[in-house]
Amino acid sequence: MTARVEVFVQLKEGMLDPQGKTLEHALEALGYTGIEDVRVGKWITFVVADGGREAIERQVDEMCRRLLANTVIERYSFELEEDGS
């Protein structure tokens, strides 16, 4: 099985996100109203070959903990889409 993986990484709730704050002000400056809680995160995509769904999930979770996210300050989630080929 080949799977397309999408990993989302974002600062944890309650962590100040100065980049998001700045964007929020910029959006307000453009005239958009009612904008709140803008957060900037990362979206990482890749393809994984081999292994069943469970094995890939386990592997991706490990990748997130070891490298893709810093769990002191960030939370992550991911999605798998099987190619089926």
Partner 1 sequence: MSDVPIGVVRFPGTNCDQDVFDAVAATEGARPVWLWHKETALEGVRGIVLAGGFAYGDYLRAGAIARFSPIMERVIWFAESGGPVLGICNGFQILTEAGLLPGALMRNAGQAFVCREQWLRVDSVETPFTRHYDSGQLVRFTVAHGEGNYVADDETLDRLEEEGRIVFRYVDENGDITPGANPNGSARNIAGIASVRRNVLGLMPHPDRAMSLLVGSEDGCGVFRGLVEAAA
Interface residues with partner 1 (CB under 8 A) are 11, 15-19, 21-22, 42, 67-68, 70, 72-73
Q: Coil, helix or strand for 40?
A: coil
CB of 4 or CB of 42, closer to partner 1:
42
Q: Give whichever of 19 and 77 is closer to partner 1, judged by the CB atom.
A: 19
CA dihedral of residues 43, 45, 51, 55 (deg, nearest 10): -10
H-state helical runs in 15-52 = 18-29
Q: Which residue has the tokens 């070959």?
A: 49
Min dist CB 83 to partner 1, Å, is: 26
53 vs 70 by CB, closer to partner 1: 70
